[in-house]
Amino acid sequence: MKLAFSTNAYTKCSLLEALEGIRRAGFRGVEILADVPHAYPPQIDDALTRSVGQTLDRLSLEVSNINCNCSFGYWKDAPPEPYFEPSLISPNPSHRADRAAMILRALQFAKDVGARNISITSGRLLGGMPPDKAARQFAQSIRPVLDRADALGIDLGIECEPGLFLEYLAELHEWIDRLGHPRLGANLDIGHSQVIGESIPDEIEKLRGRIWNLHVEDIPGRKHYHMIPGEGTLDWPALKTALKKIGYDRFLTVELYTHTDNPQQAAEKSYNFLRPGFGS
């Protein structure tokens, strides 16, 4: 297993500064936030791609994932909870088209910087988009995205999250079977599984061979708050056993968007906790 850290803890820094800090903390992998202020898809250009690629090479950093879950950069006057909008199941067709375009751009960026996968979410069930209609729309919206991912050789991981259309891993597993696409898998956030009461070892087993990236953080009980590994109640030995059982050899990516005030300290503490048990 390999360890990475997400740049979404470093949103008070530039992307290149974040890469430097993450490598300095000891990590050999990095997840790049596909949003402001780092790599917002509509603003990705050749200059950014080139500078990121050169910095990754110089620091000997691999990209664990391109995190295309949220789009704060989309909104000039943000609604109360813009985190997952626009989405592939937005009631507004133009919002759906804009989200699809952002995902396609993120896929190309992933290819250009050497990432094997990107992550997205399903979005929320908003007014005018009840579950049955959302299911039809999700199937329609995601197929061309998956086709493009396949053409580029990039895996697409869905991240389940409490309150979203796809919030339970059992639902994601059903969609993987339903769509039957080899590029569709999970960006598995273990903290989310703890929050909604899933058995993390059982879900890891069920998703064997379809986990493209693992988001890790600690959790206080079943409250959805991302904590530095080792400071919450997550059962880390059970996680390690479950991952070894399925032969997981991709990245464990620490996601601590809650620690933007001191991301360097959070990164260093996370690395020091995870390194002895999970690799480098």
pLDDT bucket at 79, cuts 50 / 70 / 90:
low
pLDDT > 80? residue 78:
no
pLDDT > 70: percent of the chain: 97
What is the reported pLDDT for 118? Answer: 98
pLDDT at 19: 98
Q: Report the predicted TM-score, pTM, of the whole model to 2 decimal places.
A: 0.95
What confidence score (pLDDT) does residue 265 get? 98
pLDDT band at 74 (very low <50, low <70, confident <90, very high): confident
> In the structure, what pLDDT confidence band is assigned to residue 72 with cuts at 50, 70 and 90?
confident
Cβ 36 vs Cβ 15: under 8 Å = no
Contact (Cβ atoms closer than 8 angstroms) between residue 67 and residue 8: yes
Q: How confident is the model at residue 81 (pLDDT cuts 50, 70, 90)?
A: low
What CA–CA distance (Å, rounded) separates 87 from 90? 5
Q: Compute the distance between CA of residue 228 and CA of residue 232 in angstroms, rounded to an integer.
A: 8
C-beta separation of 158 from 123 below 8 A: no
Residue 80 has pLDDT above 60, yes or no: no
Per-residue pLDDT reduced to its tens digit, 129-156: 999 999 999 999 999 999 999 999 999 9
Query: Residue 4: is its pLDDT beyond 60?
Result: yes
- Over the chain, what is the mean pLDDT? 95
Least confident residue range of 38-42, 62-66, 77-81, 237-241: 77-81
Least confident span in 103-112, 200-209, 271-280: 271-280
Give phi and psi for 130, each to the nearest 5. -70, 170
Average pLDDT over residues 47-63: 98
Confidence category of residue 35, pLDDT binned at 50, 70, 90:
very high
Q: What is the pLDDT of residue 41?
A: 95
Q: In the predicted model, what is the mean pLDDT of residues 216-226?
A: 97
Mean pLDDT of 67-82: 72
Mean pLDDT of 99-112: 98
Q: What is the mean pLDDT of residues 82-107?
A: 92
